[in-house]
Amino acid sequence: MLRISEINYSVEGRPLFEEASAVIPEGHKVGLVGRNGAGKTTLFRIIRGELGLDAGEITLPSRAKIGGVAQEVPSSETSLIDTVLEADVERAALMREAETATDAGRIADIQARLVDIDAWTAEGRASSILKGLGFDDYDQSQPCSAYSGGWRMRVALAGVLFAQPDLLLLDEPTNYLDLEGALWLENYLAKYPHTVIIISHDRGLLNRAVGGILHLEDRKLTYYQGNYDQFAKMRAEKRAQQSAAAKKQQAHKAHMQAFVDRFKAKASKARQAQSRVKMLEKMQDIAIPISERTTPFHFPKPKGKLAPPMLELEKADLGYGEGAKILSGVNLRLDPDDRVAIVGANGQGKTTLVKSIAQRLPLMAGNRKAPGSLKIGYFSQDQLDELTAGETVLDHVTQKLPAGTPQHKARAAAAAMGFNFEKVETNVEKLSGGEKVRLLLGLMSVDKPHVLILDEPTSHLDIDSREALIYALNDFPGAVLLITHDVYLAEATADRLWLVNKGKAKRYDGDLRDYKKLVMAA
């Protein structure tokens, strides 16, 4: 059991926690939610003992092991499978000692302990976890240095899952996974034998992998039984009750104040009036939490209507030049009202496909058919690095609009993207990840595209912003191509799938439920 007892913690005089308390029962799977900057990651650091409290305490059972993915695996020559095996520190130490121990009694103790911790099945368990996170048998034998930072983050995640700490702390674990990896992780966490706390903006994960929500709001912690959807419903009901109570209280205060105003000058009523003044002074306002308002996204209606098929690839080979062909013989068609989620494990060619469709990558062979008037809006996480440091939001918006656009219209366009009077003058390097995504999506929409291509748009968005994006995509009358690890987003916006796998890209005859079964059966 994790017990958080009346903790206080401040950063540079700004309180993040004030008398915050919660109890997480042993073995429960819990989602930690709250607005960005509220202190969720800080709470993890406090639990791990990296930060000292101003007051209060956090207690765990003695000898409880805490684990989490703090940083990626270093770029070493150690193989992936050995890196994961070494993450179980006790097993690794016992295995090393077993090779050198000479005392018969100690050897017996080591062997007994290795049996207790199921050490002899370790390699199979580690391999299974790596496979679930996208590494095949060949990959597992390769050194960590052969993989990029994002893939090494997966290895770090595999290591902590293999070590099976008593308290597993995961901070946005799906951010560096594909949809297939996210589906596997959901299933794995639901069966994990110990306590798990997950910081996540992935509503699907919070609905399927956890049975409780720990909500951080107004520097307090509140524990709710149930998944995220159940939490959202209970929270809405609680706010409605607070709102009703606050209105009733205000009416009562107004009634007493009217009595005071009417009779305070009359000697016969002065004592009663003074009594009500004291009651008014003591009466504390019922606080109604301010809603975490999110400016809606908006994708304007496309300029001009196009007849189907709007775009076709015929016998297309896609890739990056001689010796780097990724996909071959692609035959796909996109119509004006299509909503397509592109699925397939990372590295199979999903991004190659959408870059080719958006003409950011030339075809190696075959044909791309589309009318000259077709406009495509393209978003990729990689574009966050393409924003020009030193320039403001307004600078970027102005450059995207037609030359000579009056500044008041440029400001209005920026405001429609979610940037108020103050934010519009902010240099882009000072924006949060979510604000950069919002800016890029807004800039993408200026030309009123017929097709929106979104490659992992949600990694920096909180739950409310993801919900707003779903509404905007469902309101958009054009076509949508979506690559995402967010199962909830895909389920809410896509009505068909394209599968990219083993050098091919084709329509998948089934829905996401069918595809989930296929992934979990693999």
ω into 402 cis (within 30 of 0): no
pLDDT over 70 at 490, yes or no: yes
* Burial label, 265 (beta-carbon count in 10 A; 0-12, 13-18, 19+): exposed
- Quick one: tokens of 263? 């009779």
> Mean pLDDT: which of 188-192, 245-249, 326-330 is highest?
326-330
pLDDT digits (tens, 9 = 90+) for 243-300: 666 676 676 667 667 766 766 665 555 555 665 565 556 555 544 443 445 778 989 9
Give the end-to-end CA distance of the chain in Å, rounded to a whole number: 35
Q: State mean pLDDT over 298-326.
A: 91
Contacts (Cβ under 8 Å, ≥6 apart) of 108? none
How many CB atoms lie under 10 A from the CB of residue 75? 13
Whole-number Å distance between alpha carbons of 144 and 128: 18
CA angle 369, 352, 331 (to 5 degrees): 40
pLDDT for 284: 53
Q: Residue 292's pLDDT is what? A: 45
Q: For residue 141, what pLDDT is reported?
A: 93
Cβ within 8 Å of residue 340, ≥6 positions away: 334, 479, 480, 481, 482, 494, 496, 497, 498
Residue 351, pLDDT > 70, answer yes
Instruction: Say if residue 487's pLDDT is above 60.
Output: yes
pLDDT tens digits, one per residue of 441-457: 999 999 999 999 999 99
Query: Considering the chain, what percentage of its residues have pLDDT values greater than 90?
Result: 44
Site of tokens 């990029």:
148
pLDDT at 376: 95
Give the per-residue pLDDT at 323.
Answer: 83
% of residues, the chain, pLDDT over 70: 90
Amino acid at 499: L
Mean per-residue pLDDT over the chain, rounded:
86
Q: In whole angstroms, what is the distance from residue 321 CA to residue 207 CA?
A: 43
> 338 is written with which tokens?
């299509």
Distance, CA of 221 to CA of 31 (rounded, Å)? 12
SS3 label, residue 450: coil
Q: How confident is the model at residue 149 (pLDDT cuts 50, 70, 90)?
A: confident
